[in-house]
Amino acid sequence: MAVKLELYRVFKEVAETGNISAAAKNLYISQSAVSQSVKQLETALQARLFARSPRGVSLTGEGQMLYQYVRSALGLLATGEDKLSQAQQLLLGTLVIGASDTVTSFFLTPYLDAFHRQHPGIRLKIVSGRSAKVLSMLRSGAVDIAFASSPSDGNLDSWSCFSTHSVFVAGSGYPCDFDHVYTRREIADFPLILLERKASSRVFLEQEFLRSGVTLTPEIELSSRQLLVTLARIGLGVAGVTLEFVQRALDAGDIRQLKLGFDIPARTVHMSTVRDVTPTAAAAAFMEMVRQGTRA
C-alpha cells in the first residue's frame, strides 16, 4: 500500500501541534486541506489516528505508534536532503579516483593537493591499479573517475591529460654502445627487464615489436616501475621504461637512454568517466580542475 509522503507530513504536523488550525498555518495550506489529508491517511491505513475534542486533536494509541515511525522517517529524509545539499556545495562527500601509483605520483598529486585545500570536507579516496583494473572499476561504479592509458570504449567520456613515450635504458656502466642506433632485433637480443605481462605498457610494447616480426622475451619481469630503473642501474640488463616516469634518473645520470632507429608511438593517459552518468559535484569539480590544468 503506497501512501503519499505529503499525507505523513500533514499527519506529523497535526500530531505535534494538536490543532488543525495551527497545523494549517504552519503548512501554509487551508484547514479543510489538513482535515482532508488526515481523513485520507486514516482511510488508507484503516486506522483511527486522532481523537477529536473541542480543544483540538490528540493521537490515539495507533496514532502514537505511527507517529514515532513517521517522525523518524521524516527526520532521516530531512537529514538526507541536508547532506545532499552540503555535498552539492562541496562541503562534504567522498571522491573515489582510480589510478596507478605512478600516475598518482607523477601527475595527480598537485591536483589532489589543490582540491583538498579548496574542499577540505570532501574525503579523497585513491584506488591504485593499472589501466585495465581502474577502467573495470569505473564501469562497475567502484570509482568516480579513472586515469588510464588510451581507453577505447564508446561508453566512456575521456579527456587527454598527458602523453607518454616508451624508451630503453641501461646503467651508465652497462657494456653497450650508447652512441649506436639500435634496431628492434638488436634491442630484443639484450637481456631485457620489462614490467609484468598484465601491464598495459608491456602489452603495448610487445605489440609494437610484433608488428615488425620481433618478439620480446624478457629475462626479468617486474610489477614495480621503480625496480626497472634500479635493476637497470646496477647492470642487470636493458629496461623498457616510460620516459616521463624516469626523467629524474636520466637527469641524475643513474641510467642512460639507448638510441633507437625506429619510432615507438606515444601513448596518452586519459581522465575517464562513464558516459551518460551524471558525475557527483565533487567529481565534476575535480575534473574541471584537471581540464583547466591540462588545457593547451
CB within 8 Å of 269: residues ≥ 6 apart: 103, 107, 147, 148, 149, 150, 160, 161, 162, 163, 164
Question: What are the cell numbers at 270?
Answer: 586519459
Contact 268, 163 (CB under 8 A): yes
Q: Please state the φ and ψ torsions of residue 34, each to the nearest 5 degrees.
A: -65, -50
User: What is the arithmetic mean of pLDDT over 10-27?
Assistant: 92
Contacts of 275 by beta carbon, 8 Å cutoff, 6+ apart: 154, 155, 156, 157
pLDDT in the model for residue 151 = 62
246 Cβ contact partners less than 8 Å away, ≥ 6 residues apart: 167, 169, 225, 228, 229, 255
216-259: pLDDT as tens digits: 999 999 988 899 999 999 999 999 999 999 999 999 999 999 99
pLDDT band of 3, cuts 50, 70, 90:
low
2-16, 30-44, 189-203, 219-233: lowest mean pLDDT where?
A: 2-16
Distance CA 189, CA 216 (A): 8
pLDDT mean over 19-36: 92
Taken in order of first residue, the domains within the chain and their CATH numbers are 5-88 (1.10.10.10), 93-163+268-294 (3.40.190.10), 166-265 (3.40.190.10)
What b/e readout covers 121-130, taking b as 16+ CB neighbours within 10 angstroms? ebeeeeeebb
Q: Is 148 helix (H, G, I), strand (E, B) or coil?
A: strand
Share of the chain above pLDDT 70, in %: 98
pLDDT at 243: 95
DSSP state of 49: -
- The grid cell for 146 is 579513472
Residue 78: predicted pLDDT:
80
Average pLDDT, the chain: 91
Res. 199: pLDDT tops 90: no
Average pLDDT over residues 31-50: 92
Q: Is the pLDDT of residue 163 over 60?
A: yes
Contact 233, 255 (CB under 8 A): yes
Cα separation, 66 vs 52, in Å, equals 17
Helix axes 5-17, 61-88, angle to 10 degrees: 120
Once rounded to an integer, what is the mean pLDDT over residues 182-201? Answer: 94
Query: What is the pTM assigned to this prediction?
Result: 0.71
Between 79 and 35, residue with greater pLDDT: 35
Q: What is the pLDDT of residue 2?
A: 57
- The stretch 61-90 carries a mean pLDDT of 85
134 touches 100 (CB < 8 A) = yes
Residue 86 has pLDDT above 80, yes or no: no
